[in-house]
């Protein structure tokens, strides 16, 4: 099974002023661990950056936060909609890579994470949300995003790739 790991909107513009309040460090620990695990097994890591309003936003704020490890082999795509599949090459990249399972992580749980999770399902991918790997400005939205959706923990990912 080929896994595509999506790391959504982990950017300075959204997170740099709320690092402690949102427990960004905790989520990054899970995201980085899973990304490293999947990279070492030849799976696809994709960083998705929101560039909506980029003309009004200083370029450095669109950068991925330094707490997220980005490897030179990782793929980066940009988006302007909440669903990272909408008007992007994401579906094409995943299908060309033979991805069966999409693991979604990042910011914001109730917007881009959820909409991209749904977008993956709508396009026929198996889709799950990384447990402890999503963020929101409202902590209750994390629980609401997990509710009634498929989630996956890093030990399960370890088991899947070592089968």
CA distances for 134 relative to 40, 60, 162, angstroms: 22, 22, 24
Q: How many residues does the chain have?
A: 163
For residue 128, the Cα-to-chain-centroid distance in whole angstroms is 11
Domain boundaries of the chain, sorted by first residue: 3-161
Task: Tell me which fold the domain 3-161 belongs to.
Answer: Rossmann fold (3.40.50)
Angle at 52 between CA 45 and CA 125, to 5 degrees: 35
Integer Cα distance of 105 and 91 in angstroms: 17
| Predicted pLDDT of residue 36 | 98
pTM: 0.96
67-96 pLDDT, tens digit each: 999 999 999 999 999 999 999 999 999 999
Q: Is 43 helix (H, G, I), strand (E, B) or coil?
A: coil
87-146 pLDDT, tens digit each: 999 999 999 999 999 999 999 999 999 999 999 999 999 999 999 999 999 999 999 999
């Amino acid at each position: 099974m080929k896994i595509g790991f999506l790391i959504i909107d982990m950017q300075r513009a959204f997170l740099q002023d709320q690092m402690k309040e949102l427990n960004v460090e905790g989520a990054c620990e899970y995201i980085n661990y899973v990304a490293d695990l999947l990279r070492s097994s030849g799976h696809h890591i994709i960083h998705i950056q929101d560039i909506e309003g980029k003309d009004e936003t200083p370029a450095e704020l669109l950068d991925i936060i330094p707490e997220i490890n980005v490897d030179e082999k990782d793929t980066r795509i940009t988006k302007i909609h909440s669903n990272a599949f909408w008007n992007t090459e994401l579906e094409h990249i995943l299908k060309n890579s033979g991805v069966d399972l999409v693991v979604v992580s990042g910011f914001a749980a109730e917007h881009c994470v959820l909409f991209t999770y749904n977008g993956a399902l709508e396009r026929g991918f198996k889709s799950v949300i990384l447990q402890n790997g999503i963020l929101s400005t409202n902590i209750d939205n994390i629980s609401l995003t997990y509710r009634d959706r498929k989630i996956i923990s890093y030990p399960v990912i370890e088991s899947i790739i070592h089968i």
